[in-house]
């Protein structure tokens, strides 16, 4: 078996090594890190136009798509978990069926997004800004970029299958193709041809369609013809129900997680514009940590799912231990880095001296979020890979309730320090609540442990 987990189907318990964990986590992390580079490029392209309303419109449009696509990215994670289990069971027919179910769902959701686009266009921009010129820019950007919705969701399905099989290098290649094409075409259309914001939007459309076509060709050509599932297998009601239930659970989890940060922003606004701006700057510290921890969560997702599918308890336990160890090690390194380099990073993100001073005051809390969130990221990967999505959803709801209680107690007495303490407690509780369920769920998933 190869170190990347891409080898053919092995009937023995597969060895989970540090090399195997990193061979999945590192390429996934690098792929995730191409996303903020794309955002920076779009901002730079539009920024060179010298039109403040264009830059503001791009920011608002990007937020709308982040909310829509970020919340609906459950296709990628649920497909990864189900594909990993089929791969672990040495079941190539079900592996293909998992992909075709996800693909049909992705196309359907993409078409639904196109149908809802006029409603979003009519309501969304005016909710986000009162400036008519900025709202027009948002409509122009959104109206073009939304055309890529079917391709965007197809890319989620493709990456889900690729990561589920542990082919992280292929996943990295597809993400580089997607974001690299987006960057180059956006620069060419936006600046070279002078299309401005429309060029940036068309750059995204071209990149999403190209990546979807290439991904489909690569994935479908890799399917063995003799293991092609019948239509009845693809449309099996029980399997479809499992997919939809997982998607619903992960969607609820994602919405509640976003709600926690929205709540933090809303409460932070009561401390004044400077503190609100400082918190917004510091959230980037957590987001940067998340990009690195997501790669290890992806490794936990693939390896735990594969072990559950193969019914290899020893491989599952080893994956649990190694991915946890690497997650905490990464979080510790990130925490030290942000404590040491946080002030210069803050100075890059804002030119306001007042905001810089306030952000520096609360920097230790932001630097701590990687450590308090490390277990939650890893546990999310384990629970999605093992398809324990209902429990993950329930623990998210319980953690959010505890977070609200912490806010009610800590904010009135500690102010913004209390707000950041409550957020760190929320992240920590998510991980601990999920960890508490692992022994029982493991025993259920491995009734005849090998």
Higher pLDDT, 47 or 148: 148
DSSP 130: S
Rounded Cα distance between 134 and 171, Å, is 36
How high is the pLDDT of residue 205? 92
What are the tens digits of pLDDT across the range 108-122? 989 998 998 888 888
With a CB cutoff of 8 Å and minimum separation 6, the contacts of 373 are 286, 289, 290, 293, 331, 427, 428, 430, 431
How high is the pLDDT of residue 10? 46
Tokens 């308890």 belong to residue: 313
Q: What is the mean pLDDT of the chain?
A: 87
Q: How confident is the model at residue 342 (pLDDT cuts 50, 70, 90)?
A: confident
With a CB cutoff of 8 Å and minimum separation 6, the contacts of 10 are 1, 90
What are the tens digits of pLDDT across the range 256-312? 988 898 888 888 878 887 888 888 788 878 888 888 899 999 999 999 999 999 999
Of the segments 37-41, 140-144, 439-443, which one has the largest average pLDDT value? 439-443
Higher pLDDT, 448 or 21: 21
Rounded Cα distance between 239 and 216, Å, is 22
Which candidate, 184, 174, 182, places its Cα nearest to that of 206? 182
Is 189 strand, coil or helix? helix
CB 125 within 8 A of CB 135: yes
How high is the pLDDT of residue 351? 75
Rounded Cα distance between 312 and 335, Å, is 34
The C-alpha torsion from 112 through 235 and 385 to 317, rounded to 10°, is: 180
> Could you tell me the pTM of the whole model?
0.86
Tokens 């791009």 belong to residue: 58
Q: Please, what's the b/e burial string for 342-380 (b: 16 or more CB within 10 A of its CB; e: otherwise)?
A: beebbeebbeeeebbebbbebbebbbbbbbbbbbbbbbb
How high is the pLDDT of residue 48? 64
Mean pLDDT of 207-226: 92
Angle (nearest 5°) at CA 395 between 377 and 375 = 25
CB 319 within 8 A of CB 16: yes
How high is the pLDDT of residue 4? 39
How high is the pLDDT of residue 40? 61
How high is the pLDDT of residue 37? 63
Rounded Cα distance between 118 and 100, Å, is 29
Percentage of the chain exceeding pLDDT 70: 91
How high is the pLDDT of residue 5? 40
3 pLDDT above the threshold of 50: no
Percentage of the chain exceeding pLDDT 90: 50
Mean pLDDT of 142-152: 90
The C-alpha torsion from 343 through 347 and 353 to 356, rounded to 10°, is: -40
Mean pLDDT of 56-65: 73
DSSP 191: I
Mean pLDDT of 140-147: 88
Lowest-pLDDT range, 10-14, 283-287, 399-403? 10-14
Q: From the centroid of its chain, how far is CA 291?
A: 8
How high is the pLDDT of residue 346? 83
Rounded Cα distance between 438 and 450, Å, is 17
């Amino acid at each position: 078996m190869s170190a990347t987990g891409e080898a053919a189907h092995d009937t023995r318990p597969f060895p989970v090594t540090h090399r195997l964990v990193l061979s999945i986590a590192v390429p996934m992390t690098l792929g995730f890190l191409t996303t903020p580079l794309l955002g920076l490029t779009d901002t730079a392209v539009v920024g060179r136009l010298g039109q403040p309303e264009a830059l503001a419109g791009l920011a608002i449009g990007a937020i709308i798509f982040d909310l829509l696509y970020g919340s609906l990215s459950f296709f990628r994670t649920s497909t990864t978990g189900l594909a990993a289990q089929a791969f672990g069971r040495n079941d190539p027919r079900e592996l293909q069926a998992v992909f075709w179910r996800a693909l049909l769902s992705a196309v359907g959701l993409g078409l639904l997004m196109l149908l809802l686009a006029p409603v979003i266009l009519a309501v969304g921009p005016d909710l986000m800004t009162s400036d008519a010129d900025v709202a027009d820019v948002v409509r122009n950007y959104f109206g073009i970029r939304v055309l890529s919705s079917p391709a965007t969701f197809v890319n989620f399905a493709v990456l889900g299958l690729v990561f589920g099989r542990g082919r992280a290098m292929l996943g990295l290649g597809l993400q580089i193709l997607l974001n690299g094409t987006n960057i180059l075409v956006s620069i060419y259309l936006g600046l070279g041809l002078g299309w401005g914001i429309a060029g940036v939007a068309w750059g995204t459309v071209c990149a999403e369609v190209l990546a979807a076509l290439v991904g489909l060709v690569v994935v479908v050509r890799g399917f063995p013809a003799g293991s092609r599932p019948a239509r009845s297998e693809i449309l099996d009601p029980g399997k479809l129900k499992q997919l939809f239930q997982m998607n619903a659970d992960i969607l609820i989890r994602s919405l509640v997680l976003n709600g926690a940060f929205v709540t933090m922003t809303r409460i932070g606004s009561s401390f004044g514009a400077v503190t609100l701006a400082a918190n917004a700057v510091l959230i980037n510290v957590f987001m940067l940590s998340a990009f690195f921890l997501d790669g290890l969560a992806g490794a936990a997702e693939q390896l735990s799912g594969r072990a559950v599918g193969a019914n290899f308890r020893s491989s599952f336990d080893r994956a649990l231990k190694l991915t946890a160890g690497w997650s905490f090690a990464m979080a510790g390194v990130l925490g030290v880095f942000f404590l040491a380099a946080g002030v210069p990073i803050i100075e890059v993100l804002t030119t306001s001296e007042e905001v810089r001073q306030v952000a520096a005051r609360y920097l230790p809390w932001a630097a701590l979020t990687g450590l308090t969130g490390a277990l939650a990221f890893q546990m999310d990967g384990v629970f999605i890979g093992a398809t324990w999505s209902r429990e993950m959803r329930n623990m998210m709801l319980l953690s959010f309730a505890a977070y609200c209680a912490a806010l009610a107690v800590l904010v009135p007495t500690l102010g913004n320090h209390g707000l950041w303490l409550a957020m760190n407690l929320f992240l920590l509780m998510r991980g601990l609540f999920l960890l508490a369920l692992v022994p029982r769920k493991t025993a259920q998933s491995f009734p005849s442990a090998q």
